[in-house]
Structure 1
Amino acid sequence: MNNERINNVIFLHLLLLFVLTIVSRGHAHYSLGKEKVTHLHFFFQERLNGDHPTTVLVAKPKDTVISASNTLPFGAVYVLDVPLTEGLDPNSKVVGQAQGLAVSVGQDKLMVVFMVDIGFTSGEFNGSSFSVLSRNPILETNHRELAIVGGRGKFRMARGFAEHHTLTATTSVVVVESNVTIFHYE
């Protein structure tokens, strides 16, 4: 090899070493701390109509009629902002909100995909939330398991599951009990 070529190789190696040093110093090494497991229990208090509904139809398939017997036709999209309460009574203390979307995806069987942020407005987890993205077979009223796929605040890096049990389901009110197990880092 001639001297010019050797000098170019050395220069490129030094440049690469310099860039790698700068890049590695620019990244903060963030420690997540110890993983925790949290169990939560609350109730969804969903109002489907009246003065202040908590779930609203925002899109439906063309030429589809929404009726009491056909509230979730395939392709319907609902937006929700549902209070979460400490107890079964709708007047019990509100501990947070479930905000997101429910999309009817079942052609042969009633099924929704649930994309919701569960945010807390009081207590130990005030200002923190976790995210649910899961199929929700809502006709299975006794037991449904939904996936927790993330979180923020005290639920950073959340994963886990929420078990839902429908306690009341009428054309105007739906009450769902939720037992949640979350693995997260604070």
Structure 2
Amino acid sequence: MGRILLILFFISFSSGPIRCARDDGDDDRGGFVRSLDPKLLSLKEEKLSHFRIYWHDIVSGNNATSISVVPPSNKSTTGFGTINVIDDPLTLGPELSSKPVGKAQGFYTLSSQEEVGLLMSMNFAFTEGKYNGSTITVLGRNAVFNKVREMPVIGGSGLFRFARGYVQARTHTLNMKTRDAVVEYNCYVLHY
């Protein structure tokens, strides 16, 4: 082992000085980052969009859209440690039969020992109208029994490239026996 380290030590000095890349805004100097004019990416003026959708988390029955992949590791009253993977419908109205506009895909984990608090990590993948194929990414804390929960929008794709903003979640219905829930999401997104 000592010989290998000694050989690596001599090789590192015989290969010449190590150069660090820096960003001067000039690609000819070996930098790996450069500044771009937003017009090159066809970015127009930034706008703020608001939309309201309903998230259907169906845990019970044969067509569950939320599956527990890691059960709690203890007898916690908050479900601490549980992880659910989701492919939840997003609709225009609170009824599951209302017009579908996409899916919420990702996971949530029960991450609080003191209350029912979730860490949400999901993409709203839209399938309707001009937003078909676009997504927004939500990542944040969701204290389930608070009247309104706010979580950040940390990015997006398609028409929501460079997205940032927040969502407000309000529970519309929650069946304590089945744990099925319908949550209203008001989304406020800055995008190009």
TM beyond 0.5: yes
In structure 2, what is the equivalent of residue 8 of structure 1?
none
Whole-Å Cα distance in 2 between the matches of residues 184 and 106 of structure 1? 32
In structure 1, what is the equivalent of residue 89 of structure 2?
83
In structure 2, what is the equivalent of residue 92 of structure 1?
98
Query: Shift in Å at residue 20 of structure 1?
Result: 4.2
1:59 to 70, 77, 84: 70
What are the equivalent positions in structure 2 for 1:1-80 lying under 5 Å apart? 20-21=27-28, 29-31=36-38, 32-62=43-73, 64=74, 73-80=79-86
Unaligned runs of 5+ in 1: 1-18
In structure 1, what is the equivalent of residue 157 of structure 2?
152
In structure 2, what is the equivalent of residue 176 of structure 1?
183
1:108 to 88, 107, 114: 114
Greater share of strand residues, 1 or 2? 1
Post-superposition CA distance 1:23-43 (Å, at most 9, x none): 68x968351331111111110
Whole-Å Cα distance in 2 between the matches of residues 146 and 29 of structure 1? 30
Unaligned runs of 5+ in 2: 1-25
Q: Give the SS at the match of 2:162.
A: strand
The 1:176/1:61 distance shift into structure 2, 3 A limit, reads closer
Query: Shift in Å at residue 61 of structure 1?
Result: 3.8
The 1:59/1:123 distance shift into structure 2, 3 A limit, reads same
Q: Give the SS at the match of 2:133.
A: coil
Letter in 2 for 1:106: S
- RMSD after superposition: 2.4
Whole-Å Cα distance in 1 between the matches of residues 75 and 27 of structure 2? 61
Higher relative contact order, structure no. (Cα contacts within 8 Å, ≥ 6 residues apart): 1
Q: Give the SS at the match of 2:106.
A: strand
Post-superposition CA distance 1:20-71 (Å, at most 9, x none): 43768x9683513311111111101221110110111001244x469xxx5x
State the TM-score, normalized to the length of structure 2.
Answer: 0.76
State the TM-score, normalized to the length of structure 1.
Answer: 0.79
Whole-Å Cα distance in 2 between the matches of residues 23 and 35 of structure 1? 32
Post-superposition CA distance 1:114-142 (Å, at most 9, x none): 000001001121110000010000111x2
**Number of aligned pairs?**
162
Structure with higher Rg: it is 1
| Identical pairs, percent | 32
Contact 2:27–2:34 (8 Å) recurs in 1: no
